[in-house]
Structure 1
Amino acid sequence: MQTFIITKVLLLVFFLMGIFSSAQITVSGKVSFKNKGVKDISVTLKDTYDGATTDVNGNYSFETSEKGKQILVFSNSKFVEVEKTIMIGNDNLTVNSDLKEQISEIDAVVISAGSIEASDKKRATTLLTPIDIYTTAGANGQISSALETLPGVQKIGETEGLFVRGGTGEETKFFMDGNLVNNFFGNSIPGIKSMDRLNTSLFKGNVFSSGGYSAAYGQALSSVLVLESIDFPERNSVDLGMSPLFITGGFQNVNEEKTRSFGIFGSYSNLGLMTKLIKFNNDFTKAPESFGTNFNFRIKNNKGGILKYYGSFDTNKIALQSESLEPNIDFDNTSLKGKNTFHNLSFRQKFGEYLLNLGSSYTFNSNFIDLSNTFQNSDINPNSIEIKGNYFNAKGTLERKINRISAIRAGIEFNQAKEKTDVALSPSPFVSNDQITSLFAETDLGFSNNLSAKVGLRSEYSSKINRWNLAPRLAMAYRISKNWTTSLAYGIFYQNPEQKYFGSNPLNYQKAEHYILQVQKSEEGRSFRLEAFYKNYSDLIKTKVLDYRPVAINNNGDGFAKGFEVFWRDKKSIKNIDYWVSYSYLDSKRDFQNYDQSLFPSFAAKHTLSVVAKKFVTDWKTGFNLSYTYASGRPFYNFQTDNNGDYHLNNQGKLKDFNALNFSLNYLPNLGKKEAKAFTILVLSVNNILGQKNIYGYQFSNDGLRSRPVLPSASTFVFIGCFINFGIDRTQDAINNNL
């Protein structure tokens, strides 16, 4: 019995010694990234609970009773997981490991030099959404007007266009779902700015590049605005809008699976009533009147491909009378009849690792301006200008992702423009036809989460110029710290002279080189951007007057634009208030078109400041919006032509500084009513609420001795409207976005 007990005790001792001896096996080592220890790396034996986490120096150590062949796993979300096969015996093990950074689409730094993005929420800070645009006081729901509150964009009130960093309005191009949009703005007469043609609610986001843009786009010396339309509406809905200025209506229909949708929208506007209620600076003999309609459909196939179509048609009329600057003539009469139709078709489909984008757009635009003078109640010297244009664009792009943040894309684009200009006093109409074929390739290179580059090349052939160009593009971005990044961009950009300037003289592409350096900080609720830029212009066209119209005679013009910009947006510091501030400094000179010497452009201001603030008060069901814009006085010039049609500077001056404080109020009467079947917004907006007497420029007599200021249509403009949507409750969006 005693022997049996001793035997059991010995067996128990040996068993415990075995367990004890197994537990003494220690696995330790160091985990490094780029020769530096990394903390918080999980080190475990696969399929066991044994393991440890590295300390601040990258060291780890743990004990295990496992034996034989095992797999040691090193893991952390920021690094590529590493597995190492080890053999555990009776001796302690030392296992070191070097890690590789995990490339993440969300964490990777994004190239943003020259760009403000609002379409890719994963990779960019959303700055201007459709809600932002609708609630920016003074923008009147116009994309282009809202962009004028951002750095780099000039405040121009006498003509349409985005004037960016010393560039003309024609140097900015607009794209919808990748396709070129010609005649983005409505038809107008000199001195009166027309509105955007495309409805802001069509789009889910935008990328506005004030320089250094992608090789996928061309024919723009200064900037591009890339608009991305919504894929499918949220649900069936009916929209109505009413005001003293216009009436609108339309509907959207979408199936439950969101694979089919279509919609129709129409609008009619007439400024006649407003001219009786508000004092206008223009003497309208025919108040601005317009009618427009559009149609859209979207189809999604069973493989995820989406076909989208948008088509529109609009007409407008306007006529005004002004006292003549010429002797012995009482009045100058100007009238306009405009027509426009636009069609945009796009298709997007993924084939395995490849993404195919196809699209085309077509525009027809007719602009008839009738000019006459009134002397003793009779018309003399009648004249008219009629411009008809047909524009076609087709584009195809194929993209393949290399990894999560790297990709390569290439494509081909074709543009055709046909214009006919008929001046009544000219012996014959002028007809111009140009075809531009473009090839482009570009790659996004993600070297790490902190370093990326975009390298592109674009080449274009113009039948009018009869030669190819070659435009390299390069951009790099580096993350300095968690919230700070820096970007650098360089590119060459070409643009054909406008069709109206072509004549018998051979012309070349106009050229601009962009250099952009940006520093940006982004954190939750706040963003800051500082950007410096330099643009060098060459081969700009020079013009003279032939057959009653300006014609380009050569490409001997040049110029530069340089400066810096600051942008700050904050939704966090002041409770329930969203605001942004932008400031731009610009130094520029140009010798181009009718300039007879190098001058600071008449469409540019040295200093521009914008402040936008928004607040929604839930208890009052009301959103309050303010914006203020300041621009230092722009120069103005009067050029006269001699008998040969050459321009000479006759006199010049400087406008007074521009100031405008705008206010808008949005009231939601159905807010909080669960039984409400419609989402209603009542809008009151006042542009230039303080009535500042702003001047946009001067018009001169033929001899240059007399002039009159170019004024806004109304010094202070008041708008009241009601918008009703049956089918979509946007109450929460309204609160969250300060609607």
Structure 2
Amino acid sequence: MKTQGQNILFLIFLMASIMGYSQVKITGKVSFKNKGVSEVNVTLKDTYDGTTTDAQGDFSFETSEKGTHIITFTHPKYENVERTISIENQDVSLNVDLKEQISEIDAVVVSAGSIEASDKKRATALLSPIDIYTTAGADGQISSALTYLPGVQKVGGTEGLFIRGGTGTESKIFMDGSLINNYFSNSVPGIAGRDQFNTSLFKGNIFSSGGYSALYGQALSGALMLESVDLPDQSSYSLGISPIFLSAGFQKLGDNKNYSYGATAGYSLLTLMQKIFNFNTDFVEAPQGLNGDLNFRFKTKSGGFFKYYGMFNSNKMGVRSESLEPGYDFSLVKLNGKNTFHNLSFKQKFGKYLLNVGGSYSYNRSDLHFSTETNDIESNKNQLLTDGNYLNFKAVVERKINRISALRGGFELNNTDENLNFEAVQKHYKDLISSAFLETDLGFSNALSAKIGVRAEHSSFLGKNNIAPRFAIAYRLAKDWTTSLAYGLFYQNPESKYINGPANLGFQKSQHYIFQVQRASEGRTLRFEAFYKKYDRLIKTFNVNEQTQTALNNNGYGYAKGVEFFWRDNKKTFENIDYWISYSYLDSKRDFLNYPVSLQPSFAAEHTLSAVAKRFIPEWKLGVNLSYTYAKGRPFYDIASTFENGKAINYTRNEGRLKDYNALNFSINYLPNIGKKDAKAFPVFVLSVSNILGSKNVYGYNFSADGSRSSAIVPPVNTFVFIGAFISFGVDKTDDAINNNL
């Protein structure tokens, strides 16, 4: 037995010795751009042998395998690598260079000039519908909420997005790719029209304050691209009640969850609020409006998606003010406005290609009646009647090249048919702008990408063409730091309201140069942006009368340059507090319209500062929101026209500077049914106060015909209080509200 045991023990030691002798060591280094990469999985294929690289990228392991084998190197951020090796009786050493794995999530995105709120993977996402509803002072309007972002001016006396020294008409708004020609409601001079589109209609937006995509055109300054919601999660009903409006709506989801339809209707009237508050504006006819909309969405069996949205709005108001002309007590203006908008879009994948087709129809009618009043007797009655029909059609085909590169192209048709009647001016303006565009996204690596595009347009009215190249590049400086650079040419037709007679006109032109540095991490965004815009071929006009200017030529020019800062901290530093701060410095001058020389535009403030803060208090079921805006006083001008030696001459009679703009706003939102799973209704009660401190802000001045008298253009009311309830039935969205600091 002893001899047998010794033999067995000898055999065990002999086999172990043979196995130890046959072990081969495999060593090496894994690098990316001459720098070692840690945590790379190194595996001998179809075996259990392998290891992981250390902090310097070195690896070492032993194997008893023999012959030809494949060794693999894998890491989530790099492409897989395979190497064939021959294992004999000698150790093996090899070094491997990795290639970066191109990823949609990790890839740097060109962001110069734009802020996006449609892709949740991007830390720069801003201004979701909940963001807009909970921004105090925004009144639930997208355009108002954007004034709390860098680059957008708070003008007040007229509607539109005034971006980086541009007029309100130099920015355009799109829905699912199609142009909205009547985004704002009709109004009277000195009072800005409101957004006509419900904020909850849109699931996201891309706001570009410059250097926007070649897919869009006819905007010298910027573009707002809105994306409407898809199919709802479930059927629901809604009701809105306040002292100034009543609204109701529903959304019905099909049983197979492949289609939905819905509608809303609302009525607003300001009479009650006039009796409560001390209005600056004397409304002889209180503002009132009737609106409604329809929507239909359908998903095809092949994966296509149809969306339809239709809207109708009518509004009325009448304003009386002290007359600036001698011999009259008051000036009166009355409005009767009507709008309708229809949008149909279709999206479908065909193999490697994605087709987007959309069209929109807009109708706008503004009926303004001007008169004077003396001893309660009206006289000097005039009517300014404008109506327009607008058709837009766009088709875009996109093909993915790889995960972060794509090529897209298409064409767009935009037809305008307008009529205007006012005193001696009667016109019928027609124009068809035909456009073609091509654009590519180039992802060179996760740290470097570019966007190159070109757009060409032809205007039937002008009888001229343009070609607009655009370019942007982005580079990741470090883990959370990126930088972007953008350049582009942008063209826009002269505004039709100034085309009242024969004139040799062409496209207006602007060039954008934008440089941005941004740090974006989860919950925090910091960005600096510098820009320069050069304007050429701006139109020059001559005053026909108090209400009408007529275009003379394209001899205008100008510039806008500045720097912007934005910081947002979403519940990272302070518990349940989301806040952001933005600052803009703008240096701008223009010689355009009826300006006699190059001047700082009356809509451009040199310094603008905004701050927004939101806090949700769970134990009170309460959201508290604050916002503040400061803007350096803007210049104002009283410009008159005359003829000298048969030549039109513009000259400044009066000029000055407005007082600085200040407004502190406050709102609270109470959600009583949070957490009540058996609740049948989910109300949100809202109380908001705009301009709490009652600052007497001034938007500009009106002047008499001879320039000797003036009156300030001011908000209809200095401080406004709104209270209302919004109730949803069938769907509980309070969790979304909590997560977004409602």
Is 2:518–2:528's contact at 8 Å kept on the other side of the alignment?
yes
Give 2:446's match in structure 1, choosing from 435, 444, 449: 449
User: Paired residue for 2:319?
Assistant: 320
Deviations 1:492-543 (A, max 9, x none): 0000011122231121100000000001011111111110000000000000
Instruction: Out of 143-152 and 374-383, give the one that drifted further.
Output: 374-383
Instruction: Out of 30-39 and 208-217, give the one that drifted further.
Output: 30-39
User: Paired residue for 1:666?
Assistant: 669
Deviations 1:8-27 (A, max 9, x none): 7775554333211122x011
> Are residue 483 (structure 1) and residue 497 (structure 2) matched?
no
User: Paired residue for 2:585?
Assistant: 585
> Are residue 627 (structure 1) and residue 624 (structure 2) matched?
no
What is the correspondence of 1:126-525 to structure 2 with a 5 Å cutoff? 126-423=125-422, 425-426=423-424, 429-502=426-499, 503-525=501-523
Deviations 1:58-80 (A, max 9, x none): 22111011122221000101100
Instruction: Out of 537-546 and 36-45, give the one that drifted further.
Output: 36-45
Gaps of 5+ in 1: none
Is 1:545–1:645's contact at 8 Å kept on the other side of the alignment?
no
Is 2:123–2:525's contact at 8 Å kept on the other side of the alignment?
no
| Inter-partner Cα distance in structure 1 for 2:574 and 2:12 | 71
Q: CA deviation at 1:728?
A: 1.2
Q: CA deviation at 1:122?
A: 2.1
| Inter-partner Cα distance in structure 2 for 1:247 and 1:350 | 41
User: Paired residue for 2:595?
Assistant: 595
Residue type of the partner of 1:653?
G
Instruction: Out of 663-672 and 476-485, give the one that drifted further.
Output: 663-672
Residue type of the partner of 1:615?
R
Instruction: Out of 171-180 and 503-512, give the one that drifted further.
Output: 503-512
Instruction: Out of 49-58 and 295-304, give the one that drifted further.
Output: 49-58
Q: CA deviation at 1:465?
A: 1.4
Residue type of the partner of 1:189?
V
Q: CA deviation at 1:305?
A: 1.0
Residue type of the partner of 2:516?
Q
| Inter-partner Cα distance in structure 2 for 1:260 and 1:561 | 47
Root-mean-square deviation (CA, aligned residues, Å) is 1.6
| Inter-partner Cα distance in structure 2 for 1:464 and 1:579 | 48
> Are residue 694 (structure 1) and residue 697 (structure 2) matched?
yes
| Inter-partner Cα distance in structure 1 for 2:543 and 2:460 | 24
Q: CA deviation at 1:85?
A: 1.9
SS of corresponding position for 1:96: strand
Deviations 1:689-729 (A, max 9, x none): 11011111100000000001001000001111011100111
Q: 1:611 to 1:123 in 2, by over 3 A?
A: closer
Q: CA deviation at 1:57?
A: 2.7
| Inter-partner Cα distance in structure 2 for 1:674 and 1:101 | 48
Q: CA deviation at 1:232?
A: 1.1
Q: CA deviation at 1:28?
A: 1.0
| Inter-partner Cα distance in structure 1 for 2:338 and 2:66 | 84
Is 1:546–1:645's contact at 8 Å kept on the other side of the alignment?
no
SS of corresponding position for 2:20: helix
Is 1:110–1:124's contact at 8 Å kept on the other side of the alignment?
no
Residue type of the partner of 2:271?
G
With structure 1 as the length reference, what TM-score do the two structures score? 0.98
Is 1:118–1:124's contact at 8 Å kept on the other side of the alignment?
no
Residue type of the partner of 1:71?
I
| Inter-partner Cα distance in structure 1 for 2:122 and 2:520 | 11
Q: CA deviation at 1:641?
A: 2.1
SS of corresponding position for 2:239: strand
Q: CA deviation at 1:51?
A: 1.0
| Inter-partner Cα distance in structure 1 for 2:679 and 2:661 | 44
Q: CA deviation at 1:358?
A: 0.3
Is 1:660–1:689's contact at 8 Å kept on the other side of the alignment?
yes
User: Paired residue for 1:713?
Assistant: 716
Is 1:105–1:123's contact at 8 Å kept on the other side of the alignment?
no
| Inter-partner Cα distance in structure 1 for 2:3 and 2:481 | 77
Gaps of 5+ in 2: none
SS of corresponding position for 1:735: helix
SS of corresponding position for 1:201: helix
User: Paired residue for 2:540?
Assistant: 542
Deviations 1:619-653 (A, max 9, x none): 11111100000001000000112257643111100
User: Paired residue for 1:680?
Assistant: 683
Q: CA deviation at 1:375?
A: 2.3
| Inter-partner Cα distance in structure 2 for 1:499 and 1:650 | 27
What is the correspondence of 1:2-41 to structure 2 with a 5 Å cutoff? 12=12, 14-23=14-23, 25-41=24-40
Q: 1:2 to 1:159 in 2, by over 3 A?
A: closer
> Are residue 650 (structure 1) and residue 648 (structure 2) matched?
no
Is 1:638–1:649's contact at 8 Å kept on the other side of the alignment?
yes
User: Paired residue for 1:729?
Assistant: 732
| Inter-partner Cα distance in structure 2 for 1:589 and 1:595 | 11
Residue type of the partner of 1:733?
D
Instruction: Out of 260-269 and 540-549, give the one that drifted further.
Output: 540-549
| Inter-partner Cα distance in structure 2 for 1:514 and 1:686 | 38
SS of corresponding position for 2:144: helix
| Inter-partner Cα distance in structure 2 for 1:223 and 1:35 | 43
SS of corresponding position for 1:642: strand
SS of corresponding position for 2:402: coil
Q: 1:646 to 1:337 in 2, by over 3 A?
A: farther
Deviations 1:100-130 (A, max 9, x none): 0000100111110000100112245221100
| Inter-partner Cα distance in structure 2 for 1:545 and 1:321 | 24
| Inter-partner Cα distance in structure 2 for 1:684 and 1:26 | 74
Instruction: Out of 126-135 and 727-736, give the one that drifted further.
Output: 727-736
SS of corresponding position for 1:482: coil
| Inter-partner Cα distance in structure 2 for 1:606 and 1:383 | 38
Q: CA deviation at 1:392?
A: 0.5
Residue type of the partner of 2:617?
V
Deviations 1:367-415 (A, max 9, x none): 0100011123322221110001000000000001111111110010000
Deviations 1:539-591 (A, max 9, x none): 00000134873111100000000000000011211111111000000000000
| Inter-partner Cα distance in structure 2 for 1:440 and 1:695 | 43
With structure 2 as the length reference, what TM-score do the two structures score? 0.97
Q: CA deviation at 1:5?
A: 8.6
Residue type of the partner of 1:594?
N
Residue type of the partner of 1:656?
K
| Inter-partner Cα distance in structure 2 for 1:449 and 1:173 | 32
Is 2:487–2:511's contact at 8 Å kept on the other side of the alignment?
yes
Q: CA deviation at 1:187?
A: 0.2
SS of corresponding position for 1:276: helix
| Inter-partner Cα distance in structure 1 for 2:575 and 2:429 | 57
Q: CA deviation at 1:349?
A: 0.6
What is the correspondence of 1:82-101 to structure 2 with a 5 Å cutoff? 82-101=81-100
Identity %: 59
